[in-house]
Amino acid sequence: MIKLNNLSKVYKKNIQALRDINLHIKPGEFVSVVGQSGSGKSTLIKLIIAEEKPSSGTIVIGGWDTTHIKDREIPTLRRQLGVIFQDFKLLPKKTVYENIAFAMEVCGFKSVEIKKIVPQMMSLVGLKDKADRYPHQLSGGEQQRVAIARSLVHKPKLLVADEPTGNLDSINTREIIDLLKKINNLGTTVLLVTHNREVVNSLRSRVITLDSGYIISDQVQGRYLL
């Protein structure tokens, strides 16, 4: 699913964010990436979703070498990925249904497809009865569920979750993590970036630890030890 070979990223003023990263994530895995602030987690995500380009090394996503991806190819890549963030990024003047549908509209989906898929996604994340609510009428956990539903409309092979519970309380955090596990059980590869020690240690799945741009640990059933 993801293959990173000798991947490095250097910013201006010789700031080296990642150093010789070698990583293979297989289809269907649930992988957590952890590390303290400045360890390279955010840079790793930006490279995977083609928000940044590497200084050296190669990136292969789903068999597609994206190392030197062209700007016009990025939308095609993004449709193979689902991405969710800490701040939800919902459109405040659109309802739950409209927020999810909008992700399909901008990609040219037909109305009949939108009317079929959007309810399926709302049902999957447990929001079928809140289709007409606006973001300000939802809890933080519900807003994140909308963001997850929106990220799944293209049926991506990989879901990248960048600190998805950073703004949530413990109850909503557990519900979102349970939802990510459900999505993973349905066959989607999940890459979770988090600083939440309790979440990582409860998952009992593969844990990759970054420190100063290096992978210092890669454990099949790992724990967040830093």
Residues 172-203 pLDDT 10s: 999 999 999 999 999 999 999 998 888 999 99
Average pLDDT, the chain: 92
User: What range does the domain containing 180 cover?
Assistant: 1-80+156-226
3-class secondary structure per residue, 134-146:
CHHHCCHHHHHHH
Asked whether residue 179 falls in the same domain as residue 166, the answer is: yes
Give 154's contacts (C-beta < 8 A, 6+ positions apart).
79, 80, 82, 103, 107
Say if residue 57 is in the same domain as residue 166. yes
Q: Is residue 42 part of a domain?
A: yes
Distance of alpha carbon 147 from alpha carbon 168, whole angstroms: 14
* Same domain assignment for residues 45 and 59: yes
- Distance in angstroms (rounded) separating the CA atoms of residues 50 and 52: 5
Which residue, of 116, 138, 155, is where some domain finishes? 155
16 lies in the same domain as 3: yes
Examine residue 85 and state whether it is found in any structural domain, yes or no: no
Residue type for position 103: A
Give every strand in the sheet of 30-34, ordered side by side: 81-84, 158-162, 189-193, 30-34, 206-211, 214-219
Is the CB of residue 4 less than 8 Å from the CB of residue 43?
no
Which of 104, 124, 155 corresponds to the end of one domain? 155
186 located within any domain: yes
Clarify whether residues 150 and 176 are in a common domain: no
User: Is this structure's pTM higher than 0.85?
Assistant: yes
The tens digit of pLDDT for each residue in 126-138 reads: 999 999 999 999 9
pLDDT of residue 75: 82
Structural domain tally of the chain? Answer: 2
| SS3 state of residue 168 | coil
CA 195/CA 200 separation, integer angstroms: 8
Assigned token pair, 182: 């459900």
- Euclidean distance between the first and final Cα of the chain, in Å? 27
End position of a domain, from candidates 115, 140, 155: 155
Same domain membership, residue 1 and residue 30 = yes
Give per-residue pLDDT as tens, 40-57. Answer: 999 999 999 999 999 999
